Structure 1
């Protein structure tokens, strides 16, 4: 397994842990939105600290101005929606169910984004093998979320 794959697995594990912890924060504070705000405030502090300590070169003003306006706000809006839904749904569904459905949504959109090269990302055409993998994943999510029949 490559170092990048290990980092990707660690990132996924970190997301599952932080979502579980912040969902509990939302339950204790009686507000998923307050927990989301706390999480993003802390994330902002950590990322600004990392930016200031690790960035060697900042973009030029003309490069900043060339960024389409939707890229400044849409990622943050989608992130806030996704994170808030995690914190809202985990106490209701459980972390395993929520993460399995969320992973399925991520895979479906990622496959489409890769196939069409959205946002100038590298094009990775959808193949039969990838399609089978995505369908298998979704079937796995279905199996993970089957409720026990209690012997009936």
Structure 2
């Protein structure tokens, strides 16, 4: 079962640069990174709605929604920021530079979230191996962005 999740994660990572390229093309065609991001989210929302209906996903009750912490509602805003920013900077940085920079930032932020067990993540302390891996990723990013 773990292998299935690993494959899903790899596939999700592989489609990110494709998404950026498609969204950048959309931006070029309509002229606005914000409107391109909005269109991207609208299409994505329609796909998720269709999947939720088709899979007969359980809808949350008002009581369930009311129990959520206030910060649980910002995920869509964070996604919108990422998509709009990627659409804006991808034509300037290129796919490899954008992906290297965002993955490095994701890893560094993830190490902190895991270390302190924040926002629902299990606590996994920072250790020498994790720091070494992060430094290798930073070094690789510098090599790709600089050369």
Name the TM-score, length of structure 2 as normaliser: 0.92
Pair 71,20 (structure 1): closer, same or farther in 2 beyond 3 Å:
same
Aligned partners of 1:110 and 1:78: how far apart in 2?
15
Q: Is the 8 A contact 1:26 1:32 kept in 2?
A: yes
Secondary structure at the aligned position of 1:57 is classed as: coil
Pair 1:134-2:134 in alignment: yes
Secondary structure at the aligned position of 1:125 is classed as: coil
Pair 1:79-2:79 in alignment: yes
For residue 32 of structure 1, report the CA deviation from its aligned partner. 0.9
Q: Which runs of 5+ in 1 are unaligned?
A: 148-152
The size of the alignment, in residue pairs, is 146
Pair 29,56 (structure 1): closer, same or farther in 2 beyond 3 Å:
closer
Kindly report structure 1 stretches of 4+ aligned residues shifted beyond 6 Å: none
**Which residue of structure 1 lines up, in the alignment, with residue 109 of structure 2?**
109
Q: Which runs of 5+ in 2 are unaligned?
A: none
Secondary structure at the aligned position of 1:145 is classed as: helix
Name the TM-score, length of structure 1 as normaliser: 0.89
Aligned partners of 1:121 and 1:108: how far apart in 2?
15
Aligned partners of 1:54 and 1:121: how far apart in 2?
27
For residue 56 of structure 1, report the CA deviation from its aligned partner. 4.1
